[in-house]
Structure 1
Amino acid sequence: MTTDRADDPASPYGRLKAAFARHAALSDALGTLHWDTESMMPTGAADRRSQSMATLRVVAHEILSEPALADDLDRAEADQRDLDARDRANLAEMRRIHSHETAVPADLVAASSRAVSAAEMAWRSARCDADFKTLKPYLQSVLDHQREIGAAVGAALDLPLYDALLDRHDPGMRAAAIDPVFADLAGYIPEILPTVLEAQRQTADAPAPPGPFALPSQKDIAETLMARLGFDFERGRLDTSIHPFCGGSTNDVRITTRYDENDFSAALMGVLHETGHALYEQGRPTGWLDQPVGESRGMTLHESQSLFIEMQISRSRAFQTFVRPLLIDTFGGRGGDWDEETLYRRAIRVEPGHIRVDADEVTYPLHVILRYRLEQAMLAGDLALGDLPGAWNDGMRDLLGLVPPNDTLGCLQDIHWPAGIWGYFPTYTLGALAAAQFAEAADESLRQSEGCSIEELVAEGRFAPIVQWLRSNIHSVGASDSTGGIIQRATGRPLNATAFKVHLQRRYHAPARTTA
């Protein structure tokens, strides 16, 4: 139990909690503004919005870089007798965040924010026009600022530049740990892909039912499934944007997706993916929501939650059993295009393509590995920004046997780099590995506690026990443990690719051999 001195607002730790609570409030405001920018803001408001967000980021930065806060950190760390385990973890997170914040000067924070806002707007036009050259000067500014930020944080934390940026998104994760895993997958997946595709060809075609599918109906079924999974609409909502994402603020979690009237499945799977993120945000530890220890524990775990819901649950045969009546009621489906087996074959169809967010789970890691390698090269200065489109196309050919016909289907498809999100991409595939481990562990646990498997629960639409397992083992832990510690405790072993490979072997009849 937290003691009175730990709650004393006049104590060093009490002052720290108040400062970080103010910072959390500003972060919430920025989150809502970012959601609005991506989904609803008129283009004419872009310049003023950029200034407003840059100002808020500077104010947030100043809160955590006050000299008095550094003194309070030293004093609180020197005497932790009155702090319980969660408070001690909170204090450790305060120190980590403070180290990142104080490493970067305020003028660089403001300049980076302005560069990002301009690049995001330029990206929208460039993506529509398939014109990388239009984006290049704006992206160059973002890249230059990211190099400065990475160098500053790296110097403060004694980390290489890439690891310093990666640490913002996944504390403690390092390229040296990622490289061998990605090298293994970059060999394993192309090796098994022909076998997977051949097995797929041996089954009957699973054509998509003809549209159109009314967009209001697509949104209705999306919201129905969000609610069945446990999304709290009193603390969140669903909207539309160019690039699907989960954002917003504490107790106001915003999901966005994009719709295609000829294909309901793309938007639906996007919503289910983002619902995994949202459930994590809505399941963070109550009582600590304005403190660092109450935050989610990095993006590998965040991506694991979205991929758990999308890949492990929503693309399973059991989920098709559950969702089929809802689809038929919503879209008026009739005939063989809507039977369970056909729905399942469409859900797990493997088809190498150009677009990461539309990729199947077999080829998806190759998209991530490409981006991981390219951003490392750009940050290191080994790849000039002007050469990015060609390098992208070469990488796609080498990994997936495809060459994008234009930049929209190539290096312009993702908003991450224009948005200043560098060092983030590897967490997508690390999350897929963790999701497979969590699914194995949850299945074993639920067989004991519920007397049935995850597959049986999903087929019956009984998602609550599954989500509760995630709540107990991941969501409610917040940032009180490391990514590795949370995975080890929940699954009994460290993060690795074994469960993911077993999952591919079972679902796609992939061979068990590896190239490791």
Structure 2
Amino acid sequence: MSAESYAELERRFARMSKVGGALGMLHWDQSVIMPAGGAEARGEQLATLRLIAHEMQTDPAVGDLLAAAEAADRLDPWQAANLRLMRRRYDHATAVPGRLVEALSRAVTRCETVWRTARADSDFPTLLPHLREVLDLTREAAVAKGERLGLAPYDALLDEFDPGRPAARIDAVFADLESWLPDLLSRILDRQGPPPLPTEGRFPVAAQRALGERMMRTLGFDFDRGRLDVSLHPFSGGVPDDSRITTRYDEDDYASALMGVLHETGHALYEQGLPKEWRYQPVGQDGGMAVHESQSLIIEMQACRSREFAGFVAPLLREAFGVDGEAWTPDNLYRANIRVAPGFIRVDADEVTYPAHIILRYRLEQALIGGSLDLADLPEAWGEGMEKLLGIRPPDDRRGCLQDIHWPDGAWGYFPSYTLGAMGAAQLFEAAQAAHPGLREAIGRGDFAPLVGWLREHVHARASFDGSADALLEHATGRPLDPASFRRHLERRYLG
């Protein structure tokens, strides 16, 4: 009977996965194309659908099927991994009552809508009551999950985004990073010399979009299974066979949108490369957000901010925008791409100062979830933390605590994934270069097949089989996450 129970679980989880994918697309629609006046109606629809999905996940029959299937002795390794992930998802879901799922969905929709205006107006007081509601409900869910899973509340939130990596492990990794990064930053700032020539001009949105789509095709993005759109905050979403990327354009600055597109294409390539035979099963889905961020950052930071890539893209930029001169040489573009300067905005930060942005958010959300920081004091705490970590203080909340969508959108515990992903990307790129010694030269020719092909085999095809980011890295590189790879990368690029 246990094998039959497993087969029924596969059918049930496939239905749940399809519903979850549809919910993700509805959320994307709301973020990108829904009129502002439709937010409340769409929020009600999403809340109801999320409650229905939650009821599907928490059906007591699923628990009975899991218990029966766990007695099976005829499952292959992928089925066994799938069953473990089914149990994890069931335990996460059943820890939270349906009324909390529904309330949190409504609160997030309201808060995200208010955030869009509050961010533009640098108006934290207007957002405060809505964000407080999201925080209170998130904390309630975190406590419930922690009690069910035997985790601290914040660890329970982290587990949703990066399975198997609790705060104690992240603290150790970040402590290692903090032990050498400030000195490295100081040496880089002393050494990097005068700024590159400015790449000035007017860069029409149509030309930027055409260039972005060209680069997406070069990387291997399948436009038969995805598209590029515009939103207030760049992101990648959807499902493997309907992958959506968004960016935002500034006609005075082509680089922000282009690098955003390259970053999000890394996410989308991962989704499009997940194994089709496990498409609607937990084991066939992504391995968590730290793995996801490693895939976006291996494309953006490791490959597309390299000297070789600058040589490839320079003539394409001159062609796309009708520009010429010393500012558009590969050397100047490379120096612009790796210029280090502390700044206020996380998404525009260079890779040396970026970890400080993440450590700040990590510590603040820990304090907010734990209750040692009141939400009303967030702007001041943000300014103090930024000043301590980077020596600068935001002049307003738009460039401070209002800049990110994550907390209004209910994504508490997500932020560490960015820097953990950057470290993982450096480690994976080292391994890919060892396997393909001509990898950098191929990038210089605009040939990403060696890199993407290696990722397809060692990361994308593994999906969630390994169970954690550390286990996946160990399979692909021979060791779990090791900050030394990130340090070597930064020293080679900026001091070599």
Task: Give the structure-2-normalised TM-score.
Answer: 0.98
Counterpart of 1:500 in structure 2 is 486
Where 2:357 maps in the other structure, the secondary structure is helix
Say whether 1:298 aligns with 2:288.
Answer: yes
Q: Kindly indicate whether the alpha-carbon contact (under 8 Å) linking 2:226 and 2:241 is maintained by their aligned counterparts in 1.
A: yes
Alpha carbons of structure 1 residues 65 and 5: separation in structure 2 relative to 1, 3 Å: closer
| 1:374 Cα offset (Å) | 0.2
Say whether 1:456 aligns with 2:421.
Answer: no
Q: Kindly indicate whether the alpha-carbon contact (under 8 Å) linking 1:436 and 1:500 is maintained by their aligned counterparts in 2.
A: yes
Counterpart of 1:153 in structure 2 is 145
Out of 90, 101, 107, the residue aligned to residue 98 of structure 1 is 90
Out of 131, 149, 163, the residue aligned to residue 155 of structure 2 is 163
Q: Kindly indicate whether the alpha-carbon contact (under 8 Å) linking 1:300 and 1:431 is maintained by their aligned counterparts in 2.
A: yes
CA distance in 2, matches of 1:503, 1:124: 36
Counterpart of 1:179 in structure 2 is 171
The CA RMSD over aligned residues, in Å, is 1.2
Instruction: Please tell me the residue identity of whatever aligns with 2:440.
Output: E
Counterpart of 1:514 in structure 2 is none
| 1:195 Cα offset (Å) | 1.4
Counterpart of 1:388 in structure 2 is 378
Counterpart of 2:17 in structure 1 is 24
CA distance in 1, matches of 2:342, 2:195: 17
Say whether 1:109 aligns with 2:101.
Answer: yes
1:65-115 CA distance string (max 9 Å, x none): 01111000000001232x211111111110000000000011100001011
Structure 2 stretches lacking a partner, 5+ long = none
CA distance in 1, matches of 2:10, 2:53: 14
Instruction: Please tell me the residue identity of whatever aligns with 1:128.
Output: A
Where 1:78 maps in the other structure, the secondary structure is coil
Counterpart of 1:468 in structure 2 is 453
Where 1:88 maps in the other structure, the secondary structure is helix
Instruction: Please tell me the residue identity of whatever aligns with 2:107.
Output: A
Instruction: Please tell me the residue identity of whatever aligns with 2:372.
Output: D
Counterpart of 1:491 in structure 2 is 477
Q: How does 1:410-429 map to 2 (within 5 A)?
A: 410-429=400-419
CA distance in 2, matches of 1:76, 1:187: 47
CA distance in 2, matches of 1:24, 1:345: 44
Out of 215, 226, 245, the residue aligned to residue 225 of structure 1 is 215
| 1:260 Cα offset (Å) | 0.5
| 1:64 Cα offset (Å) | 1.1
Out of 70, 82, 97, the residue aligned to residue 77 of structure 1 is 70
Instruction: Please tell me the residue identity of whatever aligns with 1:351.
Output: A
1:410-443 CA distance string (max 9 Å, x none): 0000010011100110010000110000010000
Where 2:396 maps in the other structure, the secondary structure is coil
Q: Kindly indicate whether the alpha-carbon contact (under 8 Å) linking 1:487 and 1:494 is maintained by their aligned counterparts in 2.
A: yes
Aligned length: 495
Q: Kindly indicate whether the alpha-carbon contact (under 8 Å) linking 2:2 and 2:69 is maintained by their aligned counterparts in 1.
A: no
Q: Kindly indicate whether the alpha-carbon contact (under 8 Å) linking 1:186 and 1:399 is maintained by their aligned counterparts in 2.
A: no
1:101-148 CA distance string (max 9 Å, x none): 000011100001011000000101110110100000000000001111
Where 1:467 maps in the other structure, the secondary structure is helix
| 1:186 Cα offset (Å) | 2.7
CA distance in 1, matches of 2:246, 2:201: 22
CA distance in 2, matches of 1:34, 1:145: 19
Structure 1 stretches lacking a partner, 5+ long = 511-516
Where 2:70 maps in the other structure, the secondary structure is helix
1:458-499 CA distance string (max 9 Å, x none): 011111111010010001101111211110111111102101
Moved over 4 A (4+): none
Q: How does 1:286-365 map to 2 (within 5 A)?
A: 286-365=276-355
| 1:5 Cα offset (Å) | 9.1
| 1:207 Cα offset (Å) | 2.3
Q: Kindly indicate whether the alpha-carbon contact (under 8 Å) linking 2:428 and 2:477 is maintained by their aligned counterparts in 1.
A: yes
CA distance in 1, matches of 2:425, 2:179: 21
CA distance in 2, matches of 1:5, 1:71: 10
Say whether 1:479 aligns with 2:472.
Answer: no
Q: Kindly indicate whether the alpha-carbon contact (under 8 Å) linking 1:38 and 1:241 is maintained by their aligned counterparts in 2.
A: yes
CA distance in 1, matches of 2:471, 2:378: 37
Q: Kindly indicate whether the alpha-carbon contact (under 8 Å) linking 1:277 and 1:303 is maintained by their aligned counterparts in 2.
A: yes
Task: Give the structure-1-normalised TM-score.
Answer: 0.94
